[in-house]
Structure 1
Amino acid sequence: MRYIALAAALFTLSAGAATGRPGFGELPGESSQAYDANRSGQVVGMIESEDGRRRAVLFEYGKVTELGTLGGSDSEARAINAAGMITGAAQNREGRWRAFVYETRKGMTDLGTLGGGGASAVAINASGQVVGHSDLPNGDFHAFVTEDGVMKDLGTLGGKTSFAAGINTAGAVVGTAQNPEGFRRAFVAPAGKAMQEVPGLGGRISMATAINDAGLVAGAAETPEKRWHAFIWDGTRTIDIGALLPKGVNSFATSINAAGHVAGTVTSEGFQPLTFVYKDGKLSVHPREAGLYLTNKINDSGLVVGSRFTGKRLAAYAVDETAPVKTTSLVDWAIRVGIAIGVVVTAWRIRRRTNGPMFPLSQVKVIAIRFTR
């Protein structure tokens, strides 16, 4: 079933590649982006017209359904659960962005706010709980989670603002919140409990972007060298995924699925972003011609969705979590060589610290890397 759903989604969303037309079937001059996909292969995102107007869409089996708005002109669909419930943000008649839930039978429902004028939703769990952020009466914004359809303010880490980015089946929420010093830090808020800070990587700022049902948190954090590294936090320790990449390369984890596979983006100054997948302790970087320009979500079937840059516009696209075995890009090879050097250096440092074998068994899963060649 996993492979049937994956194949169907890959075929429908990326079938246009053979004719040079990835995307949701938008008109010439329009752009598109895929934000999320469920295990059934339903994909949600948005189409943007030449004048900048955005329309929330559901894409399934080659068919595009526009979800409409809350009375305004624009909308974006950001997440979908296994039951097909969709959440995102849409403008109302006053032009305010409001968080919504969309169901086929009920259409689009405004979730309200925390007292301010606007709100935006970005994730939804199996039971239909939604998270995002909302304006407050004083102009600040706070992370929220819905309980029985009503927004609950999750507060901050002592600062003024916060926003939520992910939620799991148990209702645990992750996101980013300001601390008393004003720095934004990754947080996790277990269901019914106050948010707590997720340990970073030694820098000033961090962010959590996703959490799976096992409680694994994915995100990105600043290092003491002022670089961004993707990470996983399992509740007791932080695994620095970015440390497996060459120095000077930034990485951002954007999603984690039920199996603990992490997808995200690798960036280096002057080069196009690349898609990475961290799976079973191994890191693989998709070659440029087989990856995504914007990497948004990995679903439980191993489908990675986002957008490709076609030269003049962004177009929704999906790729498998497993990178293809062939690449012709010299830039991609340069990054891979840098990764290999990083692995050797890491192993050497471990050996010096432990005075043990080149690859201690306790470290093999952390530093192992699968190359695509």
Structure 2
Amino acid sequence: MPNTPLLSLTLALWLCALDAKAQVKPLSGMAGQGKETSVAVDINARGQVVGVIEDEDGRQRAVMLDKVLRELGTLGGSDSFSKGINADGVVVGSAQDGAGHWRAFLYRHGEPMRDLGTLGGRSSYGTGVNAAGQAVGFADTAADDFHAFLVGVDGKMVDLGTLGGNISYAAGINARGEVVGTAALVDGYRRAFLYRPGAGMRELGTLGGRSSAASAVNDAGQVVGASEMPDRRWHAFLHDGARMVDLGALIGYGNSYATGINAAGHVVGTILLGEERRSFVYRDGKMLVHQAGKGLYLTNAINDDELVIGATFFSKRYAAATMQSNATPVVPKGSRDFIALMGFVVTMAVGAVLLRRRYRGIELSKGRMLHM
């Protein structure tokens, strides 16, 4: 029997092209019951995951998956959702109180859910928490605007202000207490900001458009988010501390939004192309794009163990899931790349069959000669 490396190559190519969902692992422990949907929103280095389960009536429940699923409860109302978790398992999110108002909360296992208060209004929303337990988000003011806030370890809520406009909201905080988010200018346009303790809020600019928004920051101070372009499309960006790097240009199409970054500077996010949704991972200078249904449908965060989390989408439902950041993108059927790949696969397969037949013919000839 001759060596047939081409058959092995063919098989590998077929597996790469067709075994799409093997890269995405649903979080079965966060599946919910019946027709409930689930989304994973954050994950820490210990593998503890927080997310949201939604029932058929639209009621949302903040949950934490730590080998077993924990329901985090509410502040007296019907709904809650989680947004972040730190290395110690402290969760930040929002929950309704008895009057139906949303309030930012911190949750630690074994302790009651803690209401973080407001900035003078009725509602607040928690979005991020760092290793020290400092929390950020946005809250209503007495003037009925909403402003970004920082709650320190002393429990006091500090108004981070704006960039001259009426509103702002914080999205993330790192170990150094640096906060990122979005704030309005005097003219009403919104810009990504970086807030440093003692230095205040600094605008990060745009990629040529009118607006931008920041969504996450790592401990090195690298910021990710999205910026409007001159043509009014949106591109994901990475701000390295000195300049805004256009990640959307590496994708080359659609509207893209960066949603998470880890300590290594690896960035994850989402691409919208018409009605289609794709996910991306930017790592080691390379852009990996996962087609709809082949990677995560919603991409929310990435941890330092290179696990990307979010949700898949099937049977008209979201399901919390993870994938590795270095997962190989799967080429979609119908694309030029897929057609070219399949053409190559077919060529190799046919070539391998013909080669095998040739060797088989030689062996038969040798057999006949030996028996003559």
Question: Normalised by the size of structure 1, how large is the TM-score?
Answer: 0.81
Q: Which residue of 2 aligns with 1:202?
A: 208
Asked which structure has the greater CA Rg, the reply is: 2
CA distance in 2, matches of 1:252, 1:309: 19
CA distance in 2, matches of 1:289, 1:141: 37
Is the CA contact 1:86–1:102 (under 8 Å) kept in the aligned structure 2?
Answer: yes
CA distance in 1, matches of 2:161, 2:336: 42
Gaps of 5+ in 1: 1-10, 17-21, 338-373
* Equivalent position to 1:243, from 249, 269, 272: 249
Alignment of 1:237-316 (within 5 A): 237-247=243-253, 249-271=254-276, 273-316=277-320
Moved more, 300-309 or 203-212: 300-309
CA distance in 2, matches of 1:134, 1:106: 23
* Equivalent position to 2:141, from 112, 118, 136: 136
CA distance in 1, matches of 2:132, 2:45: 15
* Equivalent position to 1:107, from 94, 108, 112: 112
User: Which residue identity lines up with residue 67 of structure 1 in the other structure?
Assistant: L
User: Counterpart of 1:244 in 2: which secondary structure?
Assistant: helix
CA distance in 2, matches of 1:23, 1:267: 29
| Deviation of 1:159 (Å) | 0.2
User: Which residue identity lines up with residue 286 of structure 1 in the other structure?
Assistant: H
Q: Which residue of 1 aligns with 2:327?
A: 323
Is the CA contact 1:290–1:319 (under 8 Å) kept in the aligned structure 2?
Answer: no
Change in CA separation of 1:325 and 1:97 when aligned onto 2, cut-off 3 Å? closer
**1:212 maps onto 2:223 in alignment:** no
Identical aligned residues as a percent:
50
**1:228 maps onto 2:230 in alignment:** no
CA deviation vs aligned residue, 1:30-57 (integer Å, no higher than 9, x gap): 1111100001111001110111111110
| Deviation of 1:274 (Å) | 1.1
Question: Normalised by the size of structure 2, how large is the TM-score?
Answer: 0.81
Higher relative contact order (Cα pairs below 8 Å, separated by 6+ residues): 2
| Deviation of 1:326 (Å) | 4.5
User: Which residue identity lines up with residue 293 of structure 2 in the other structure?
Assistant: E
Q: Which has the higher strand share?
A: 2
CA distance in 1, matches of 2:329, 2:172: 32
* Equivalent position to 1:14, from 25, 34, 45: 25
Alignment of 1:129-208 (within 5 A): 129-147=134-152, 148-208=154-214
| Deviation of 1:219 (Å) | 0.7
Change in CA separation of 1:23 and 1:311 when aligned onto 2, cut-off 3 Å? farther
CA deviation vs aligned residue, 1:335-360 (integer Å, no higher than 9, x gap): x99xxxxxxxxxxxxxxxxxxxxxxx
* Equivalent position to 1:58, from 51, 60, 64: 64
User: Which residue identity lines up with residue 210 of structure 1 in the other structure?
Assistant: A
Runs of 4+ in 1 over 6 A off after TM superposition: none
Gaps of 5+ in 2: 1-21, 342-372
User: Counterpart of 1:330 in 2: which secondary structure?
Assistant: coil
CA distance in 2, matches of 1:161, 1:311: 38
Is the CA contact 2:288–2:329 (under 8 Å) kept in the aligned structure 1?
Answer: no
Is the CA contact 2:75–2:97 (under 8 Å) kept in the aligned structure 1?
Answer: yes
CA deviation vs aligned residue, 1:88-117 (integer Å, no higher than 9, x gap): 000011111000000112131001111110
**1:122 maps onto 2:133 in alignment:** no
Change in CA separation of 1:25 and 1:332 when aligned onto 2, cut-off 3 Å? farther
| Deviation of 1:309 (Å) | 1.1
| Deviation of 1:137 (Å) | 1.1
| Deviation of 1:244 (Å) | 1.1
| Deviation of 1:329 (Å) | 3.5
CA distance in 2, matches of 1:217, 1:332: 35
| Deviation of 1:298 (Å) | 0.8
| Deviation of 1:15 (Å) | 5.2
Change in CA separation of 1:50 and 1:15 when aligned onto 2, cut-off 3 Å? closer
| Deviation of 1:333 (Å) | 4.7
Moved more, 311-320 or 114-123: 311-320
User: Which residue identity lines up with residue 116 of structure 1 in the other structure?
Assistant: G
Is the CA contact 1:288–1:332 (under 8 Å) kept in the aligned structure 2?
Answer: no
Q: Which residue of 1 aligns with 2:97?
A: 92
CA distance in 2, matches of 1:217, 1:25: 32
User: Which residue identity lines up with residue 24 of structure 1 in the other structure?
Assistant: M
User: Which residue identity lines up with residue 323 of structure 2 in the other structure?
Assistant: V
Is the CA contact 2:26–2:322 (under 8 Å) kept in the aligned structure 1?
Answer: no
CA distance in 2, matches of 1:332, 1:31: 34
Is the CA contact 2:289–2:329 (under 8 Å) kept in the aligned structure 1?
Answer: no
Change in CA separation of 1:333 and 1:191 when aligned onto 2, cut-off 3 Å? farther
User: Which residue identity lines up with residue 296 of structure 2 in the other structure?
Assistant: L
CA RMSD of aligned residues (A): 2.0
Q: Which residue of 2 aligns with 1:82?
A: 87
| Deviation of 1:236 (Å) | 1.2
User: Which residue identity lines up with residue 65 of structure 1 in the other structure?
Assistant: R
Change in CA separation of 1:47 and 1:331 when aligned onto 2, cut-off 3 Å? farther
